[in-house]
């Protein structure tokens, strides 16, 4: 019995020793390094990671899924016009706060600081393949591309210059609609720009409207839809009210591609969908045909 008890005590002691936990080794310290801002960008559609140089090489489109990244107005000018030919029109035009809307000046200052632009549109003269044109671009980064009185004035001056000098007008749209801080003054820009385009039409001057993502609200309901030729980038949203509002109003389920450039092409609202890589060549061809037929010099 003593031997048996002694044996068990040894056995328990051995088991206890074997079960003692081993010291935990700390994993090697991971050194986190910040990736410089703007060096890598993730595709919103497929999740592909793109280096900034690669993205620029593909004119800010994803080589995997052809998703078109948003670009600012100055980059759009660089991608479209001949280098060094752009001369800005109405550079000093900026918004004020005519209705005394709270904190509007602060929002304008933040947008100006973030984009380096005085307002949400850029207009001027330049050349595309050596052919003179007037070009205007709306910037989606400036208060969501909203249209206030200053934006309307800049676009109208571009239209008037095109009419006087009989040069084709190329206008890239990108907007969330009228700027709420300016209320009725913003909505008046729809009529103002439409009248200016009517005068252009009477002068026989070509107007090419290029739809980029997104083009909605009052912009889509006015000058964006009045082009002699309407081109859109792939996947660009083009419509007046949002999908949810339209579904609630119509009380029916809408197609998955509703309001996309491809949907509008299918239903006659757009003449052609053009990839950004071919956009400059397509616009140059349109201007060349227009100039060759002498429309710009017609009485």
Q: Considering only CA atoms, give the Rg of the chain.
A: 29
The percentage of residues in the chain with a pLDDT greater than 70, rounded to a whole number, is 85
Range 39-59 average pLDDT: 92
The pLDDT score that the predictor gives to residue 2 is 47
CA–CA separation, 165 vs 10, rounded Å? 106
Q: pLDDT band for position 104 (50/70/90)?
A: very high
- Give the pLDDT confidence of 164-223 residue by residue, as tens digits: 999 999 999 999 999 999 999 999 999 999 999 999 999 999 999 999 999 999 999 999
Note whether 8 and 27 are within 8 A (CB).
no
The pLDDT score that the predictor gives to residue 298 is 45
Please say if the pLDDT value at position 162 is more than 50.
yes
DSSP states along 123-143: EEEEEETTEEEEEEEE-TTSG
Tokens 């592909």 identify what position? Answer: 48
**Who wins on pLDDT, 8 or 259?**
259
Please say if the pLDDT value at position 146 is more than 80.
yes
User: Is the bond into 77 cis (omega within 30 degrees of 0)?
Assistant: no
Mean residue pLDDT of the chain comes to: 88
The percentage of residues in the chain with a pLDDT greater than 90, rounded to a whole number, is 78
The pLDDT score that the predictor gives to residue 23 is 56
Supply 224's token pair. 């964006």
Residue 46 known to bind ligand = yes
The pLDDT score that the predictor gives to residue 46 is 93
Please say if the pLDDT value at position 37 is more than 90.
no
Do the strands 131-138 and 207-216 form a parallel or antiparallel pair, or are they unpaired? unpaired
Residue 203 known to bind ligand = no
Structural domains of the chain, with CATH: 39-69 (no CATH), 70-291 (3.90.226.10)
Structure pTM? 0.84
Backbone angles phi, psi at 66, to 5 degrees: 70, 15
Q: pLDDT band for position 32 (50/70/90)?
A: very low
Do the strands 131-138 and 49-51 form a parallel or antiparallel pair, or are they unpaired? unpaired
The pLDDT score that the predictor gives to residue 242 is 85
The pLDDT score that the predictor gives to residue 39 is 86
- Give the pLDDT confidence of 67-94 residue by residue, as tens digits: 999 999 999 999 999 999 999 999 989 9
DSSP letter (8 states) at residue 237? -
């Amino acid at each position: 019995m003593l031997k048996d008890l002694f044996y068990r005590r040894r056995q328990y002691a051995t088991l206890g020793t074997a079960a003692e936990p081993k010291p935990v080794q700390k994993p090697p310290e991971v050194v986190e390094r910040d990736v410089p801002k703007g060096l890598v960008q993730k595709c919103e559609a497929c999740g592909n990671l793109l280096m900034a140089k690669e993205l620029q090489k593909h004119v800010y489109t994803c080589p995997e899924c052809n998703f078109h990244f948003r670009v600012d107005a100055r980059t759009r000018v660089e991608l479209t016009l001949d280098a060094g030919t752009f001369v800005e029109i109405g550079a000093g035009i900026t918004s004020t706060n005519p209705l005394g809307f709270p904190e509007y000046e602060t929002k304008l200052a933040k947008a100006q600081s973030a984009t380096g632009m005085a307002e949400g549109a850029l207009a001027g003269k330049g050349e595309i393949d050596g052919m003179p044109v007037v070009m205007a671009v709306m910037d989606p980064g400036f208060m969501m591309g909203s249209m206030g009185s200053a934006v309307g004035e800049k676009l109208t001056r571009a239209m008037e210059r095109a009419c006087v000098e009989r040069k084709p007008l190329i206008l890239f749209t990108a907007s969330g609609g009228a700027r709420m801080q300016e209320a009725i003054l913003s909505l008046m820009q729809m009529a103002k720009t439409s009248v200016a385009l009517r005068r252009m039409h009477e002068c026989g001057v070509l107007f090419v409207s290029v739809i980029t993502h997104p083009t909605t609200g009052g912009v889509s309901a006015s000058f964006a839809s009045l082009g002699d030729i309407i081109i859109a980038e792939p996947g660009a949203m083009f419509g007046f009210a949002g999908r949810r509002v339209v579904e609630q109003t119509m009380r029916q389920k809408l197609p998955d591609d509703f309001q996309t450039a491809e949907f509008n092409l299918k239903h006659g609202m757009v003449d052609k969908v053009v990839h950004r890589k071919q956009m400059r060549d397509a616009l140059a061809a349109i201007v060349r045909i227009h100039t060759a037929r002498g429309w710009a010099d017609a009485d």
